[in-house]
């Protein structure tokens, strides 16, 4: 299924949030034209090691299903090309610093005035309002400023960032969702719209129940390690040779856990009769459970708990995750071969249509791999393309690879 077939997306983003957004749209069938600087291309190509070939693993993870046009958007002669690209596009996604799009001639107001059917999406750090609206931002800044870092790690431990670009990729996901809704609305009304997403807003969107808890009680939550402030038991537990994640958020699951650990007395204890009680008395309950789990090796205990219907999981490194039979069965690691990287695999979209994953339509491009192809589609002849190449306004793959 390619529901966005026939939709052209002009991708004027780099790093993580914007490329993740446009990769989703490309996987759904859109023709995504990624505009990159001649030479280095997207900054994330050099966010390494690790590398896979000459590009970073980070770039390859976020840029399949796209064509690359190497264009110096600030060069003399670039503006007419940008104008043709915008005229042809259904969706424009940009992540420039504030006011830069206006300086380059494709600000939201003027662009949508010329092209009212265009869906124009800006991916920003802090949005279009407030004292920080003109400031730049990266994922760890948002985790710090937006409170996420205050909830991550262990009590009395150092500040801890979530171990992936959660805010960046979340913003890209929200942007893609908003774009899909805008395209649906355009089908109905014939009009596009302007969309603004923000890394800071996404950070707040990821912690809704913590924010509501504070607003309702005035109590400031802190980090809970592997656990959760609102559920007990719901954390990693030590074993004789490692740890297991055990989640028993309901009273029925707690009783099963106590029976499997041969501690039915804990389930019968009035202090632990329901989850609010277990949360209040966590300091008394958790050591009792840990004293039992420490006596067992991880795998036998995992099998015992699963056999009793208790939700639990091993703590796995990425090599173990890749080798896990569930990972292989779910087909989330999808072959995405290219001429330079025949063994490349990327991480698929996490859903299925009619039982199948969305297919990988195009491997991540080299810088400027499709420059001539795209310019020709815009109506430029060989002489015009050659002139632009010679002036350095655009670049092809040979001239721009590094």
Cβ–Cβ under 8 Å, residues 340 and 59: no
Burial class (CB in 10 A: 0-12, 13-18, 19+), 307: exposed
Instruction: Give the number of other CB atoms < 10 A from CB of residue 182.
Output: 21
Please check the confidence at residue 105 and state whether its pLDDT lies above 90. Answer: no
Same-domain check for residues 307 and 346: no
What the block records as the tokens of 187 is 């089908």
* Structural domain contains residue 219: no
Same-domain check for residues 282 and 174: no
Cα separation, 70 vs 42, whole angstroms: 10
* Average pLDDT in the chain: 94
* CATH classification at residue 294: 3.30.1540.10
What the block records as the tokens of 17 is 């949030």
Same-domain check for residues 79 and 155: yes
Counting the structural domains of the chain, the total is 2
* Structural domain contains residue 218: no
Same-domain check for residues 12 and 108: yes
Range of the domain at 284: 234-316
Cα separation, 337 vs 373, whole angstroms: 21
Same-domain check for residues 53 and 179: yes
Segment 6-26 shows an average pLDDT of: 97
Picking from 290, 316, 342, the residue at the C-terminal end of a domain is 316
* CATH classification at residue 192: 3.40.50.10540
Cα separation, 46 vs 56, whole angstroms: 6
pLDDT in tens, 119-168: 999 999 999 999 999 999 999 999 999 999 999 999 999 999 999 999 99
Prediction pTM value: 0.93
Cβ–Cβ under 8 Å, residues 38 and 71: yes
Cα separation, 322 vs 317, whole angstroms: 9
pLDDT at residue 400, as a whole number = 41
Q: 236: helix, coil or strand?
A: strand
* Structural domain contains residue 261: yes
Same-domain check for residues 67 and 96: yes
Question: Catalytic residues, which ones?
Answer: 168
pLDDT at residue 218, as a whole number = 96
pLDDT in tens, 282-317: 999 999 999 999 999 999 999 999 999 999 999 999
Cβ–Cβ under 8 Å, residues 29 and 4: yes
Picking from 269, 293, 316, the residue at the C-terminal end of a domain is 316
Please check the confidence at residue 178 and state whether its pLDDT lies above 80. Answer: yes
pLDDT in tens, 334-381: 999 988 889 999 999 999 988 988 877 899 999 999 999 999 999 999
Segment 160-187 shows an average pLDDT of: 97
Segment 32-57 shows an average pLDDT of: 93
Residue among 373, 395, 388 at smallest CA distance from 81: 388
pLDDT at residue 398, as a whole number = 63
Same-domain check for residues 157 and 300: no
* Structural domain contains residue 275: yes
Alpha-carbon separation of residue 65 from 52, 137, 140, 331, 341 (angstroms): 17, 27, 27, 18, 15
pLDDT in tens, 221-240: 999 999 999 999 999 999 99
Cα separation, 389 vs 394, whole angstroms: 5
pLDDT at residue 270, as a whole number = 97
Segment 27-40 shows an average pLDDT of: 96
Picking from 263, 290, 316, the residue at the C-terminal end of a domain is 316
pLDDT at residue 402, as a whole number = 36
Segment 88-108 shows an average pLDDT of: 92
Same-domain check for residues 122 and 18: yes
Please check the confidence at residue 401 and state whether its pLDDT lies above 50. Answer: no
């Amino acid at each position: 299924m390619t529901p966005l077939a026939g939709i052209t997306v002009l991708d004027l983003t780099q790093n993580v949030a914007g490329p993740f957004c446009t990769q989703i749209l490309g996987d759904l069938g859109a023709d995504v034209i990624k505009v990159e600087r001649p030479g280095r291309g997207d900054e994330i190509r050099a966010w390494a090691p690790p590398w896979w070939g000459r590009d970073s693993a980070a770039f390859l993870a976020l840029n399949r299903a796209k064509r690359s046009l190497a264009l110096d958007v600030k060069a003399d002669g670039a503006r007419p090309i940008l104008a043709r690209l915008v005229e042809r596009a259904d969706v424009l996604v940009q992540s420039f610093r504030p006011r830069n799009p206006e300086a380059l001639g494709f600000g939201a107001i003027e662009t949508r005035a010329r092209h009212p059917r265009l869906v124009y999406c800006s991916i920003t750090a802090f949005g279009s309002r407030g004292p920080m609206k003109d400031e730049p931002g990266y994922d760890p800044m948002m985790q710090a400023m937006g409170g996420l870092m205050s909830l991550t790690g262990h009590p009395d431990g150092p500040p801890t960032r979530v171990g992936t670009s959660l805010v960046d990729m979340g913003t890209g996901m929200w942007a893609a969702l908003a774009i899909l809704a805008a395209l649906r609305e355009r089908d109905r009304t014939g009009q596009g719209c302007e969309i603004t997403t923000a890394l800071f807003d996404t950070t707040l969107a990821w912690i809704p129940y913590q924010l509501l808890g504070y607003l309702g009680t005035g109590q400031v939550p802190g980090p809970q390690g592997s656990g959760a402030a609102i559920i007990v038991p719901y954390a990693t537990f030590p074993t004789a040779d490692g740890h297991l994640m055990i989640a028993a958020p309901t009273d029925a699951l707690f009783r099963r856990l106590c029976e499997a650990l041969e501690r039915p007395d804990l389930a019968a204890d009035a202090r632990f009769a329901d989850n609010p009680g277990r949360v209040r008395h966590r300091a008394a309950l958790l050591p009792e459970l840990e004293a039992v789990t420490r006596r067992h090796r991880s795998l036998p205990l995992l099998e015992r708990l699963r056999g009793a219907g208790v939700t639990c999981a091993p703590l796995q490194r990425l090599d173990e995750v890749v080798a896990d039979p569930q990972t292989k069965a779910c087909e989330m690691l999808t072959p995405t071969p290219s001429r330079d990287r025949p063994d490349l695999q990327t991480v698929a979209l996490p859903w299925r249509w009619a039982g199948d994953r969305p297919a990988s339509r195009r491997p991540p491009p080299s810088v400027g791999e499709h420059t001539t192809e795209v310019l020709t589609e815009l109506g430029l002849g060989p002489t015009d393309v050659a002139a632009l190449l010679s002036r350095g306004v655009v670049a092809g793959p040979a001239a721009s690879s590094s």
